[in-house]
Structure 1
Amino acid sequence: MNTEISRKQRLKFFFINVAAFAGIFLLLGFITLQLLQSSAYRQTDYSLEQMAKNDRLIEMEINRYQQDNPFLSQMPDDQRMIKGPDGNNRFNTQIILWSKDGEILNKEVLGGRFTELENLTLDKKQLNAIQSLNLENSADSAQKLAFHSYTIRADHEDSGVAYIQFLANTNQIADSMKNFEMTLILCMVVFWLISIGISFYISKMNMRPIMNAWRKQQEFVENASHELRTPLTIIQNSLQQLFTRPDHTILEESEPIAQALNETRRMNSLTEDLLTLARSDSNQLLLHKEAVEPKIFIKQLAQPFQEIAEMNDKQFVLENYADQPMMIDEKRIHQVLVILLDNALKYTEAKEKIILQSEISNDNWLIEVKNNGPSISDEDKRHIFERFYREDRSRSKETGGYGLGLAIAKQIITQHKGKLTVRDWEPRGVVFQIRLPMK
């Protein structure tokens, strides 16, 4: 892949990840703050609403105003009145009595606390609802006072009280919220900076499979071009040779014609294999599954290979034990076993043994193709299912092939949700194992 394109794609991944992390952190912070603000004032608002329903508490506050006795609540019989219905201390809570004209009636009872409430005004439009208020302290203009308020209409016209307002100071809660917000913002910034480093690493990791796929594609094109070039060159030379002798008969030129036809067949086989792999890569290799009797299927498949082995003085042993129906694409599995058995015949010498074993094991159809020909090195085992990969010995003219057979077999078995593996057969030889799930 072009270096400039690769760099741009990596930067694109990087910025997408950074933006995604930023969005997640902002959304998380917003939700956290909303939930915290909702819960932080919930108890305060609930206490104000309960106080507004406490007739005895209201009656006592009116009595304090009428008797001008701020200590009335400390009498033994009413000692509990300094506590709300939830049992919480009311030192941060004030009860304001208003006249119809919006004048505070219980100024003397409030005492020194009235200086904090001098700028308070009555809002008759917001009755029976929680309000948030911010006032300037007349004693210290730099200090802002925060309150939650709940105002109701009074039923004590004879006392001159028209409205009753319940105030709870929320400065402490507001300060805690500000501290929490600052802490949350700092944490979000720190973790977002960390996420930038993570995004850089993720973008690098995301590019690895793309680069690997690109390299494999390049190798695939180069190898396919190389393999196609050879038969095309032979066909071209054969045809050019025919043109140099136009007076010759077909019988006289049978050798170059036969050679061209042979290479045409080889090229046709190669293109079919390439088409199979391409369809598999694009998920277009459809499987037509049907119920198959393994014992009959294996017996019919093995018969021609047994005859070929016998003709070449090789031992072919069939161990056919699987007897439960399987849902498979018979044509594709047949193709896989032909590839494996063909390779086994190629790489065994006279007097050597080939075993085809079929059995049901642990809810799997287990098929093994064994031969005691040359072993495969550990390095070759790691690459043997790659396209166009061939060991040096398999490049000889005797065996031929393009190194696509095992890659195709692997793809077909994988699409059947199965596994194709290779291992050594002690003391000498190779075992290819197919494991197909019955379900």
Structure 2
Amino acid sequence: MTLEISKKQRWRFFLISASSFALLFVLLGAIVFQLLQMSAYRQTDMNLAEMTTNRPIIEREIRRLTQEDPFIDAPQARPGSTEKEPMDQMFNTQIILWTKDGDILNKETLGGRYTQLQSLTLNKKKLAEVVALTLASNGLSFRSVTIENTIFETNEVAYIQFLTNTNQIDDSLQTFQWILFVCMFIFWIISLGVSVLISKMNMKPLMLAWNKQQEFVENASHELRTPLTIIQNNLQYLFTKPNQTIMDQSPRIAQALSETRRLTNLTNDLLLIARSDGNQATIHAELTDVDEFLSALIQPFAEIAAMEEKQFEYGNEISDPMLFDASKIHQVLVILLDNALKYTQAHDEIQVIARQTSHKWWQIEVKNSGGKIPDEEKIFIFERFYRQEQSRNQATGGYGLGLAIAQQIVKNHQGKLTVTDWDTNGVQFTVQLPMIIKKPNEAQN
């Protein structure tokens, strides 16, 4: 991945993160402010709705108007009545009595407050609904509800309006709105820094995957080049000897065939890894007798070990059949046993032991003496094309794909492949498998 593409991708991640944070803050702020606004006006609206049905309050205002006495108190509630006392309902609230033509009748009762309310007009469109209104002349804000007078018989009063001043609530909401905006802006600035970190974190796996892909392509190209070069050289040489027989050039032909087989094995391994990366690997798990499976598998390796004067031991502690893909696990164990034979000398020891570790897991251990793997290399041996001790690998052959393939197969079984030291001078590979595995199609569901 070029530096320019990397910067563009990182900038794209930054913009996405910053925009996401901004959108979240805006939505959060809008929701919080809306909920606070509804909560702030809820009690006021409830009081106004209750006052429209409170007969003593309305009766008092009409009596003040008809008797031209602004100091008349409301009558006491009748014994047994559930109506509330009106005096407690009048704080910061005004009652306006209107004519049909929209004139205020109780100007004298309002007293000095009438000068603040004289620009008020009657709105007949939303009767019995709580509405918000603001007087442009003095900036006073109110919550208001207007009802038609159908309760008291009077020729003058046609409409009754209840007003509650909300300037204090509005000022508090405005202050809270500014505080909320400042806090959101500050945290959004902080989120820009977080977005930078997130963009860096998002780029790390992409760069790692890109580097691994580049390394994989380079290593694969290098491994493919060698057999192709040998085959090409041998074929070109054969063209220079057109009169010779096959028997005369059989060594070169045999060498070309050998390299062709190695090339086929390499391409098969690369194809297997590619399918695993693309989640195309399939596991055909069947109940299999572990002892019968392992006995048949290790027999040729035990014979080779005996020919090379190496000790080979096999032990099985599992009696019940296990559910796994026998062909795939066979490939894993072949890789492990082949490595064990490659990296041991005469009189070294190789062990294969199968055991059940819990009610959920069982495992196969492949151990061999003859040298340990340094701790700093244990984390790399399952990487593709990684080969410990390059000089030894050149002698023993291989492309460094075996353990990577083995690990991928075990992962497809939802298991684990680990490496540890064995005794003082040996290596142990442990294939840990679940007692019951999910097939890929089941795992996707």
Measured against the shorter chain, the TM-score band is over 0.9
Query: C-alpha distance in 2, partners of 1:172/1:294?
Result: 82
Partner of 2:54: 54
Partner of 1:67: 67
Quick check: 46-55 or 35-44, which moved more?
A: 35-44
Partner of 1:37: 37
1:382 matched to 2:390: no
Query: C-alpha distance in 2, partners of 1:163/1:404?
Result: 91
**Structure 1 segments unaligned to the other structure (5+ residues):** 85-89
* CA shift digits 1:1-40 (9 cap, x unpaired): 1111111111111111111111111111122222222221
Specify the SS of the correspondent of 1:83. helix
State the Cα distance separating 1:159 from its structure 2 match: 5.4
State the Cα distance separating 1:75 from its structure 2 match: 8.0
Question: Contact conserved, 1:231 with 1:266, CA < 8 A, in 2?
Answer: yes
Query: C-alpha distance in 2, partners of 1:209/1:396?
Result: 30
Query: C-alpha distance in 1, partners of 2:229/2:409?
Result: 32
Query: C-alpha distance in 1, partners of 2:166/2:309?
Result: 99
Please list every run of at least 4 consecutive aligned residues from structure 1 whose deviation after the TM superposition is greater than 4 angstroms.
Answer: 74-79
With over 3 angstroms needed to count, the CA separation of the structure-2 counterparts of 1:396 and 1:407, relative to structure 1, is closer
Specify the SS of the correspondent of 2:39. helix
**Which amino acid is the alignment partner of residue 41 of structure 2?**
Y
Partner of 2:191: 195
Quick check: 387-396 or 363-372, which moved more?
A: 387-396
Query: C-alpha distance in 1, partners of 2:434/2:417?
Result: 12
Question: Contact conserved, 2:59 with 2:74, CA < 8 A, in 1?
Answer: no
Query: C-alpha distance in 2, partners of 1:174/1:361?
Result: 70
1:153 matched to 2:158: no
| 1:298 alignment partner, one of 279, 294, 301 | 294
| 2:400 alignment partner, one of 387, 403, 424 | 403
State the Cα distance separating 1:77 from its structure 2 match: 7.4
| 2:334 alignment partner, one of 316, 325, 338 | 338
Partner of 1:419: 416
Partner of 2:88: 83
Query: C-alpha distance in 2, partners of 1:132/1:98?
Result: 18
**Which amino acid is the alignment partner of residue 225 of structure 2?**
R
Question: Contact conserved, 1:73 with 1:81, CA < 8 A, in 2?
Answer: no
Seq. identity, %: 57
**Which amino acid is the alignment partner of residue 151 of structure 1?**
T
1:227 matched to 2:223: yes
Partner of 1:87: none
Query: C-alpha distance in 1, partners of 2:157/2:394?
Result: 113
State the Cα distance separating 1:158 from its structure 2 match: 2.6
Question: Contact conserved, 1:394 with 1:400, CA < 8 A, in 2?
Answer: no
Specify the SS of the correspondent of 2:148. strand
* CA shift digits 1:253-286 (9 cap, x unpaired): 1111111111111111111111111111111112
Quick check: 378-387 or 154-163, which moved more?
A: 154-163
Specify the SS of the correspondent of 1:375. coil
Partner of 2:441: none
| 1:248 alignment partner, one of 244, 249, 252 | 244
* CA shift digits 1:322-376 (9 cap, x unpaired): 2233222211111001000110111111111111010111120111100111110
Query: C-alpha distance in 2, partners of 1:236/1:25?
Result: 65
Partner of 1:280: 276
Partner of 1:431: 428
Specify the SS of the correspondent of 1:47. helix
State the Cα distance separating 1:42 from its structure 2 match: 1.1
Question: Contact conserved, 1:132 with 1:147, CA < 8 A, in 2?
Answer: yes
**Which amino acid is the alignment partner of residue 424 of structure 1?**
D
**Structure 2 segments unaligned to the other structure (5+ residues):** 79-83, 437-445
* CA shift digits 1:198-249 (9 cap, x unpaired): 1111111111111111111111111111111111111111112212221111
Specify the SS of the correspondent of 2:142. strand
Query: C-alpha distance in 2, partners of 1:39/1:370?
Result: 72
1:326 matched to 2:326: no
Query: C-alpha distance in 2, partners of 1:335/1:355?
Result: 17
Partner of 2:442: none
1:311 matched to 2:316: no
TM-score by length of 2: 0.93
**Which amino acid is the alignment partner of residue 103 of structure 1?**
D
Query: C-alpha distance in 2, partners of 1:393/1:261?
Result: 25
Query: C-alpha distance in 2, partners of 1:149/1:341?
Result: 89
RMSD of equivalent CA atoms = 1.7
Alignment of 1:110-149 (within 5 A): 110-136=110-136, 141=137, 143-149=138-144
Query: C-alpha distance in 1, partners of 2:70/2:365?
Result: 99
